[in-house]
Amino acid sequence: MARTAPDDGHGTLLPSWRPGVTRDALVAFLDASSELPPERRLACFDNDGTLWAERPTYAQLDFFVDALGRRAEADPLLADRAEYAALLTGDTAALGELGLSRVAMALVELFDGQAPEAFTAEVRDFMSRADHATLRRPLRSALYLPMLELLDALRERGFTISVVTGGGTEFVRAVSSELYGVPPELVVGTAITYAYARDARGRPTLRRSAQLDGRPNEAEVKVSNIQAQLGRAPVLAAGNSGGDREMLEWATSGAGPSLALLVDHDDADREFAYVSAAATVAETEPVTDVARTLGWTVASMRRDWATVFPS
């Protein structure tokens, strides 16, 4: 790992961040955070595109398609369903016509009735063997090293770290401890409901349903769900897209030190270069423009990160 950060009085703090205004802003926040009472030291991180790569496809979609493939081998009739047929043949035109939300709910149905621990085991199996489509590394290592260093620096300063994802809560929980050191109760995501029943021996059991518990965890829903699950507002929030906007604004709306951090994917050589819109629904303004207007700290992958991925 390249250690390019000079000795600026902070030793080897954030070694994968290049010197500059972004690193200065992070170090200033870390220093100032000692003013905050311990119970306010909560930092919320989006996952896809903020802690791990989200291109060319979401890791959760890769997992779903892999699971679908294995189920379709055992039950070829599955391929008769329009959503599954489009996924199995990679028919992007058909997928576009069906729409992401209908396709996603069809995929959630694949796990209807599954015990939560079986779902977790299936995710862990996939993540232990899957490679990223283009980055020539295991999917589980397509994580951003500079962000992992930031998690560590925050933890050393008494912060609680939460992953606040638009992805499935239980999908991310299956790997959050191993990848980020974040226990399952600190993953806030899109949740499904559970069906409670007693088994043949009379013991309580839970099974996954195919229904969402509330709305997908994006935009203002992230704010409500953080309060509901974690019971307080963050003073640091990091994201990379319009779905993180309200969470970042919320983190910086209280008194005292706070930080909103936006990861800008502008590095086609080492990762990807793409523009995220400011909102999850049709809005053409790039989220980086919102960041400028609101005074967020922008991490340019190309400019600010000496190293992108762990070795």
Q: Which residues of this chain interact with a copy of itself, rule CB under 8 A?
A: 39, 116-117, 160, 162, 169-170, 173, 177, 183-187, 191, 193-194, 196, 203-206, 213, 220, 223-224, 227-233, 246, 249-250, 253
Of 97 and 178, which CB lies nearer to a copy of itself in the complex structure?
A: 178
Residue 182 CB, shortest distance to a copy of itself, in Å, is: 11
Taking the complex as a whole, the smallest distance from the CB of residue 156 to a copy of itself amounts, in Å, to 18
Q: How far is the CB of 191 from a copy of itself (least distance, A)?
A: 6
Number of other residues whose CB lies within 10 A of the CB of residue 212: 17
Q: Minimum CB separation from a copy of itself for residue 274, in Å?
A: 26
First to last CA, the chain: 7
Least Å distance, CB 5 to a copy of itself, is 32
Nearer to a copy of itself, 28 or 206 (CB): 206
Distance between CA atoms of 153 and 69, rounded to whole angstroms?
Answer: 41
3-state DSSP assignment of residue 195: strand
Q: By C-alpha distance, which of 205, 223, 206 is closest to 214?
A: 223
**Residue 298 C-beta: closest distance to a copy of itself, Å:** 20
User: Please, which residue, 21 or 121, has the CB nearer to a copy of itself?
Assistant: 121
Q: Which lies closer to a copy of itself via its Cβ, residue 83 or residue 170?
A: 170
From the CA atom positions of the chain, what is the Rg in Å? 20
Taking the CA atoms of 40, 41, 47 and 49 in sequence, report the sign of the dihedral they define: positive
Minimum CB distance to a copy of itself smaller for 90 or for 231: 231
**Strand bridging mode 297-300 / 259-264:** parallel
d(CA 234, CA 252): 8
**Between 186 and 287, whose beta carbon lies closer to a copy of itself?**
186
Q: Are 138 and 131 in contact (CB under 8 A)?
A: yes
Residue 47, token pair as written in the block: 């996952």
The 10 Å CB-count burial string (b at 16+, else e) for 105-142 is ebbbbbbeebebeebbebbeebbeebebeebeeebbbb
**3-class secondary structure, 280:** coil
Residue 194 or 274: the one with the smaller Cβ distance to a copy of itself is 194
Residue 100 CB, nearest approach to a copy of itself (Å) = 23
